[in-house]
Structures are given as C-alpha cells and as structure tokens.
Structure 1
Amino acid sequence: MNIQDKFNFNFPTQIRFGVGVISELAEYLKAHHLSRPLLVTDPLVKELDFFKKITADLSRVGIAVEVFSDVHKNPVKSDVHKGKEQYQSTQRDAIVGIGGGVALDVSRAIALSINHHRDLFDYDDLIGGDQYVTEPIPHFITVPTTAGTGSEVGRSAIISEDESKKKRILFAPSLMAKMVFADPKLTLDLPPFVTAATGMDALTHNIEAYLSKNWHPMCSGIALEGIQLIGESLEKATLQPDLLSRSKMLMASMMGAIAFQKGLGIVHSLAHPLSSLLDTHHGLANAVNLPYGLDFNYEGSEERFDQMALKLGFNKGEGHQLNGFIKELNVKLGLPTHLSGIGVNKSHIPTLSALAIADFCHPNNPKPVSQKDFETIYLTAL
C-alpha cells in the first residue's frame, strides 16, 4: 500500500480512500447540488481540530453546515429522534456522518427516519422490519475517524432502547452511504486506547466473519486479508502511529464490516451485554472476550484457525496458538485481559448470560451456544 496514492473503488458503496481525500467533500457536495448538510458526530469529535477544519472548509465555499452531536456513548432511540428533529427544523438536504461507530450508526438511523414514520424499532431487522423500508433515503455520506466498526460501508445501524438498553438492528440495502470518504489522516490523532479498542473490534469482525457457519466464500477471503492487515499494523498504529499503519487499519476495518454480512458469532454476543448493562466501549468488550470466544470455537474449526494463524505469521498447523496470540496482543496494547478489569463482578454473570443468549449474533456461530455456555465463558473470563 502506497500512502501517497488515492483510490476509488466500489464494494458496493462508492469509496474514496487515501490521505487527504476529506478535502474533496465540499466539491462532492456542490457537484450533487447539496448545500445544507446535517453533520452528525459525537461530542468528542465535535471539539477536535480536524472536525472544525471540515466545517470551516465547507462554510468557506458557501455550504450551510448544521452539526448534531447530542448522542450517547452507546446510542439510543431518543438520540435518533433529536437528530431527525434537527434535520427537519433546519431544512437539511443531506446527512454526513463523521466519526466512529456511534456517529455513523446514529446518522444512518436518522437517514432512515426522515421519510419513514413508523416507530423506529418497527424497522428492526430481527422482526422483519426491513420490509417497511420502502421510501427514499436522504443523500447520505460517511466519513470514518476510527478504524474499528467499519460502519461507513455498512447497511445497518445498532440502536438501543432508552430504558432497557436492549440493542435493535435497523437494516436495509438502501441504508448504505452513497459515498464514503476514508481518509487515514483523520485517525492519526486518536489516543492509544481508542486505537487499540477499535482495532480489536475490527479484528474481531474479521475473525468472527471468517468463522461464521454461513457460506460466503468472497466474505471469507476478504476477512482473511483483513486479519493479515491488522496483524501487520495494529500494534504499530497504537504505539508508534504513522500513516501506513493507520491506512492499513482503516482498510482492514472496512473489510471486516464488508465480511460480516456473512455473520458474526459468540464474541459479539458476549460483548453486546457488557455495553447494555455496564456501558462498556464495544471494541473493548470485544477485545476482552475474543480469546475466550476463540477457545470455545477452536474444536471443530481447527482448519480455519490454521488459516487465520498463517495470515498472522505463524507456521502451518499452528492455529492452536491463536488464542495466546490474542491475549498477548491485548497486553501489548494496554488492554485488560479479564472481565474484572472492566468492572464486571460475579453478580453480573446471570444477567449478562441471559442477555447474551437473547443476542442476535450467536446463531451464526460455527457451533451452538447455550446460556450455560455463556455463564461458563463469562466466569472463565472474569
């Protein structure tokens, strides 16, 4: 990968990738006769210099910018309602999501809500809600600032209920962005913890997509390449970041999101309840649970573990070392290796296990999981 190059590619979203491509956003908006975008971000990104420069550059060429950033760390339905109200009351003509998974999920859910007027969770994919996504979506653009969720290339948004914090998944092919501006330079100033946690999120996406029991050879191939890119770059991007390592991580993050249309698995079902119950950062929850989920999945998937290990620099037939590699990587990145390190105690286990068995990811796991299995894994990870 040459960091001086800029690329256009579609998969299937149109993606503009390369250092400095964010400078093309204003020209893109003007070319599509869009002059009143709602920029959706989070409270932290809103205060960063690069975000202020984006808004200043847009304003300088006559684009009337409105910013919405009133979102929770794990987004809830009321966040979406507030964003929709701001879009409508200020008469916007496009939505630009700028940030990590939170901003991009909320911006996508706002885009869904503008011309769809049922209760937001009527569109939950797990109850067949995609059938109601029939109206056009406002012009929707995504700009990732982390290398983790890959939401910029996705077609779904995970939004929680306000009271119960139960996660709902809104999905439809029409929710894909019309354009992605993926600029590695925007990720350079991320603090080490965020880089590490979001990077482990991307690794988990690629690994779980590859292990998923569903058949999708193209996604499996993409996931393996994503695993290799992360193995080459995550430690460097976290501890001694440069544009090459950031570029590889940003690409691998998008690859993980593309690959997991094949499905995810047990690790995400272990992680989601931690965000719901304890408001744990999603990437951190994945990072801590990944080795324990891999240990559960190893038997019966040995050949796939061998393939992943090869991509991470191990010799042929050394897939059994993958679990230890992940634990060691967490230590190198300064992340906890046990649930107790993120505030979990034994009293949480029954509730976490009940939430995990109800989660929507583990049905795609390569082997079935029971509530008792979840309890055992949580206790082992504690």
Structure 2
Amino acid sequence: MEFSFLTARKIVFKTGAVADIAQYIAGYGKNFLIVVDPFFKESETMQKVKSQLDSIGAKYTVYGEVSGEPTVEQTDEVCELAVKNGCDAVMSIGGGSNIDVGKAVAALITNGTPAIDYMEYVGRGKKVENEPVPFISIPTTAGTGSEVTKNSVLGSKVQTFKRSMRSDMMLANLTIVDPELSRGCPKKVTASSGIDAMTHLIEAYTTWRATPISDGLALRGIELAGRYLRRAYDDGNDMEA
C-alpha cells in the first residue's frame, strides 16, 4: 500500500472561536481579503470579525457577492480586487462556494490570472508554482469539506464547464471550525450539506483507494452523521448535534 494524507496545516475546533478570531489569525497577514456571501456580509458575526481585525490593526477588504456556484470569471474579478487593495492574506467565511473562491484567489494573487488557465481538462495546464498568500477557511455548513481540501471547484457560464483548480499548495494555512456559525443555517442547507457529507463518507470508505486513515475518518463520520444529522435538522440550536 502507498498513499499520502494532506489536510489543512492547522485546524481549530471550538464553539465560539470566531468571537476570539484575532488570537488565531495574528501573524498570517496584515491586509485581508474577506470572501463572504451577501447574507453573511451584513451579519452580526461579520461585525465581530471586523472588530477582531481592528483590534490587531489589520486592514481588510470585503467581497460579499458570492452566491450559487462560483465561476472562473468571478474568481478573476475577486483576485483583481485583492491585488488592487494590496491584500496579503485571504479569509473565506461561509459554505463551499465562498471557500473555493477564496482558496483559488489566494493562489492566483501570487501566480497570476486568469483562473481558467489552471483548470483541469479545460485550461492551459498551468500549475501553481508560487506559494499562495496565507489562506484561512471558516466554514458555516457541515458538508462540502472544502475548508480542508486542496482543490477549488469553479465553473463557467460562458464556456459551460465545472472543473477543479488543484494543488497541494492550496491547502488552508488555518481552518477555524466554530459550530456556532451553523446556528442560522436554513433547514434545507443543513439537510443537503449533511447528506453531501454522508455521501462523501460512504464513497471514501468503499473506494478501492481507501487507506487506514480515510477508513477511520469515514466510519466515525458515518456514525456521527447517522446519530446527529436529523437532530441538527430538527433544531439548529442543538449544539451537541
């Protein structure tokens, strides 16, 4: 057997972690690009994040227009904003779409656009050669797993594709998992992202490429999803679930 195991370089799991985010992100950058969706952009949690950044004297630019499936065109637009404002780190808060955009932008800041050049099968086959700027992922749903993977799934409405930009260097420098952020998740999102997680767990366990590490994670994840997903769906304030 031969395999590699890669994940985010540091994972912090703590209820209420975002309220103390300054202690975790200090040292990763001085000028952050923050990628969120329109709803989160105006949320109380976003105000807490801004206050925490202010407390350590960090600058920030907020991009809050990610909705639906992310595209290479939008990713290029976000990268242009980051470069224009001199951002030296990227933070994504939200679901998989926000995280995928931020992950790609962190790499594109140092490697250059357009994003399509790096896309598998449809691009020019370019590789991420320069170390991306520090990337911090903060998921608000439990399902996609994008916060700890090395690929960014992007599409194009113009060229009608959905492919991955992928590199070992695109793994998050820091992932903050705060269950409090899932409190406001709509039931439909809780259900769909939870089933997404369960599906990936089953696939990971049954694939011929399974490893001792993936088996352990998959079996434990299936057990937890089976025990708690329905409870989390029924009551978004059930923090144990």
TM-score with structure 1 setting the length:
0.58
Preserved CA contact (<8 Å) 1:130 1:172: no
Deviation (angstroms), 1:236:
0.5
Question: Which of 14, 19, 22 is the aligned partner of 1:23?
Answer: 19
Q: Equivalents in 2 of 1:24, 1:91: separation in Å?
A: 25
- Determine if the alignment matches structure 1 residue 37 to structure 2 residue 32: yes
Q: Equivalents in 2 of 1:134, 1:56: separation in Å?
A: 35
Preserved CA contact (<8 Å) 1:157 1:171: yes
Q: Equivalents in 2 of 1:35, 1:146: separation in Å?
A: 27
Deviation (angstroms), 1:26:
1.4
Distance 1:33 1:188, change over 3 A: closer
Gaps of 5+ in 1: 1-9, 246-382
- Structure 1 residue matching 2:93: 3-state secondary structure: strand
Deviation (angstroms), 1:65:
2.0
Instruction: Give the equivalent residue in structure 1 for 2:192.
Output: 197
Preserved CA contact (<8 Å) 2:205 2:214: yes
Deviation (angstroms), 1:78:
1.4
How far does the alpha carbon of each residue in 1:299-358 deviate from its partner, in whole angstroms, 9 at most, with x for none? Answer: xxxxxxxxxxxxxxxxxxxxxxxxxxxxxxxxxxxxxxxxxxxxxxxxxxxxxxxxxxxx
Q: Equivalents in 2 of 1:124, 1:11: separation in Å?
A: 21
Give 1 or 2: higher helix fraction: 1
1:235-274 paired onto structure 2 within 5 Å: 235-241=230-236, 242-245=238-241
Matching residue's letter, 1:25: I
- Determine if the alignment matches structure 1 residue 54 to structure 2 residue 49: yes
- Determine if the alignment matches structure 1 residue 183 to structure 2 residue 178: yes
Matching residue's letter, 2:175: V
Matching residue's letter, 2:231: K
1:354-365 paired onto structure 2 within 5 Å: none
Deviation (angstroms), 1:235:
0.5
Preserved CA contact (<8 Å) 1:130 1:170: no
Deviation (angstroms), 1:131:
6.2
Preserved CA contact (<8 Å) 1:76 1:165: no
Matching residue's letter, 2:84: S
Q: Equivalents in 2 of 1:171, 1:210: separation in Å?
A: 23
Preserved CA contact (<8 Å) 1:72 1:79: no
Deviation (angstroms), 1:130:
7.2
Preserved CA contact (<8 Å) 1:18 1:183: yes
- Structure 2 residue matching 1:244: 3-state secondary structure: coil
Give 1 or 2: higher strand fraction: 2
Q: Equivalents in 1 of 2:39, 2:214: separation in Å?
A: 33
Deviation (angstroms), 1:126:
4.5
Moved beyond 4 Å, runs of 4+: 126-131
Instruction: Give the equivalent residue in structure 2 for 1:87.
Output: 82
Task: Select between 36-45 and 121-130 the one with higher mean Cα deviation.
Answer: 121-130
Deviation (angstroms), 1:127:
6.9
Deviation (angstroms), 1:23:
3.0
Q: Equivalents in 2 of 1:12, 1:79: separation in Å?
A: 25
Identity of aligned residues (%): 32
- Determine if the alignment matches structure 1 residue 67 to structure 2 residue 62: yes
- Structure 1 residue matching 2:142: 3-state secondary structure: coil
Larger Rg: 1
How far does the alpha carbon of each residue in 1:22-44 deviate from its partner, in whole angstroms, 9 at most, with x for none? Answer: 233212333x1622111111112
The alignment yields a C-alpha RMSD, in angstroms, of: 2.1
- Structure 2 residue matching 1:133: 3-state secondary structure: coil
Instruction: Give the equivalent residue in structure 1 for 2:157.
Output: 162
Q: Equivalents in 2 of 1:44, 1:122: separation in Å?
A: 31
TM-score with structure 2 setting the length:
0.90
Preserved CA contact (<8 Å) 2:143 2:197: yes
Instruction: Give the equivalent residue in structure 2 for 1:132.
Output: 127
Deviation (angstroms), 1:17:
0.4
Gaps of 5+ in 2: 1-5
Distance 1:98 1:12, change over 3 A: closer
How far does the alpha carbon of each residue in 1:242-295 deviate from its partner, in whole angstroms, 9 at most, with x for none? Answer: 1111xxxxxxxxxxxxxxxxxxxxxxxxxxxxxxxxxxxxxxxxxxxxxxxxxx
